[in-house]
Amino acid sequence: MYDIKELYEAFTVEEAIALRLAHPEAQIIAGGSDVLVQMREGKRAGKELISIYLVDEMRGVSIDEEENIRIGSLTSFSHITKDPIIQKYINVLGEAVDLVGGPQIRNIGTIGGNTCNGVTSADSASTLHAWEAVVELTGPEGVRRVPIKEFYIKAGTVDIRPGEIQTAILIPKASYENTFGFYHKYAMRNAMDIATTGCSVNVRLSEDKKTFERVRIAYGVAGPVPMRAPSAEAAANGKPVSEETMEAFGRAVLEDINPRTSWRAAKEFRQHIAYEMAKECLKESVIRAGGTL
């Protein structure tokens, strides 16, 4: 069924790094929800595989000594959705990954695999960009941390160096504290479909809930990699919480995004829904933050 040349298994991060160095052409496999499908299709036929699925130290959600939310790269989508730390501080991420595939995929698929694929349609990607996540990579030279916007290099390519594996994703306290967000996935059907466009917004409001202290917005499938929309953020940051600001926010999105036409949707349609989604996600984020629009 699967054309696998050799399968190596790691039980620790150190073993995984050693295997990566010894077999530089081998493909890392965690849950296998993407890699095994690609192998069945013949795209990765005859590959060596390095399984990291049993590296338990790379699982779970915690708050580290720097007060980052730390999500181990082998944490499944189902665990992220149900985790109390995620539910308390960044529930929108749990909601976003709960839209990935069906229950079986969410039980086996991992946040590390979803980001290391480098695809713009990954349901976690726009929310992680909007929350200014940091990717932790561990390799022969130690630990390296890369802002997620720099981790994505181009479609299907991410910044992982020889011998490295992604060990965690971090959400800094400055990004999650007193911050509330909303994610909207637009797809051809409601279940088990790849996003036509995905939009994630989060806001931090002033104490009286009348001013946007900080707004972040990011998209999937609005360009070759997941991307922030800085013009839209600038149109709302420091501005009153109002319909006028929301409209300016939506219009400014079109200055930043560059979707393409594909069999799923035309560029012009993606631009239209990106504009509408920006306003919807901003409004829902304001409501979650205790404000009104």
Q: What is the pLDDT of residue 265?
A: 80
Q: Which two tokens stand for residue 203?
A: 């806001």
Structural contact between residues 115 and 194, judged by C-beta atoms closer than 8 angstroms:
no
Q: Would you state the pLDDT for residue 207?
A: 96
**pTM across the whole model:** 0.92
What letter would DSSP give residue 241?
S
Number of neighbouring beta carbons within 10 Å of residue 259: 22
Tens digits of per-residue pLDDT, 64-113? 999 999 999 999 999 999 999 999 999 999 999 998 878 788 888 899 99
- List Cα–Cα distances, 282 to 124, 243, 277, in angstroms: 18, 10, 8
The pLDDT of residue 105: 82
Express each pLDDT in 27-75 by its tens digit: 898 877 677 666 776 676 778 999 999 999 999 999 999 999 999 999 9
Looking at residue 11, its pLDDT comes to 97
Q: Note the pLDDT of residue 189.
A: 63
Residue 41, pLDDT score: 66
User: What parts of the chain have a pLDDT lower than 50?
Assistant: none
Q: Which residue has the tokens 């496999």?
A: 29
For residue 211, the model assigns a pLDDT of: 98
